[in-house]
Amino acid sequence: MYRLHLIWILAASLTAAGGEAFSGRARADHQPDADPQSQWWRGAPLVGFEHGRNGEPVPGYRTEVRSRWTEQNLYFLFTCPYEQLYLKPGEPGAGETNKLWEWDVAEVFIGSNFENIRQYREFEVSPRGEWIDLDIELDPGGKHRIDWQWNSGFQVKTRIDEGRRVWYVEMRIPFASLAPWKPQAGRAFRANFYRIQGNNPRRFLAWQPVHQGWFHKPEAFGRLVLK
């Protein structure tokens, strides 16, 4: 009975409920490895989702997102099952890849401003390590500011396991690019996690459903709490 109770507590600590996810404190930074089995990532809090942007089931594509933080950086590790990858044609280019959302990507939308929730940052990474980061402020009148030339200085590492048909991406995002405050346990971000996968059909997965045709709905964001 004690063992079962311990397993239940561990599972509860790793899985968020009610739109709340957690990021676990790490003692020191590490070089991204995109390996959920590495010692650095073991025991990290995670959330999993297997539904689309409207909350509909998308079986076979359960996506997991782990998170850790240090005094300098916020980390995310996505585990992304797939049937067939849909990649941008040609060899990956150096630097930022605009309109990366037209192909397979994992995405983090995150903001520290709880008074102006329409101001946030977006991070996207493809299975081959192509990336884009965006500084966003939505305008009620439709004149949105979406600055793809903004540079957060984040680092990425990806890995494709063709045998298991799973791809992984790790993001290391400097805290200085996210918030005007120093990180500490108990502080929180507004956040949502997404995936775009495949081409026919095209699948749009969301941790917190947005119930609209694009992911930019900050009212639907959950909370990412630093532990």
pLDDT of 120-160, one tens digit each?
A: 999 999 999 999 999 999 998 888 999 988 999 999 999 99
DSSP string, 89-151: SSSPPSSB-TTGGGSSEEEEEEE--SSSTTEEEEEEE-TTS-EEEEEEE--TTS--EEETT--
Asked if 16 and 222 count as a contact pair (C-beta separation under 8 A), the reply is yes
pLDDT of 91-107, one tens digit each?
A: 887 789 989 999 999 99
**What is the DSSP secondary structure assignment for residue 153, as one 8-state letter?**
-
DSSP string, 158-214: EEEETTTTEEEEEEEEEGGGT-SS---TT-EEEEEEEEEE-STT-EEEESS---SSS
Q: Which domains does the chain have, with CATH numbers?
A: 2-226 (2.60.40.1190)
Provide the sign of the torsion angle of the four alpha carbons 109, 113, 18, 14, taken in this order. positive
pLDDT of 25-70, one tens digit each?
A: 999 999 999 999 999 999 999 999 999 999 999 999 999 999 999 9
Torsion, CA 46, CA 178, CA 102, CA 138, rounded to 10: 120
pLDDT at 111 over 70: yes
Give the Cα separation of 49 and 205 in Å (integer).
8
Q: Exposure string (b/e) for 186-195, b if CB count within 10 Å is 16 or more?
A: eebbbbbbbb
Asked if 24 and 43 count as a contact pair (C-beta separation under 8 A), the reply is yes
pLDDT of 24-37, one tens digit each?
A: 999 999 999 999 99
Task: Give the other-Cβ count within 10 Å of 63's Cβ.
Answer: 22
Give the Cα separation of 91 and 130 in Å (integer).
10
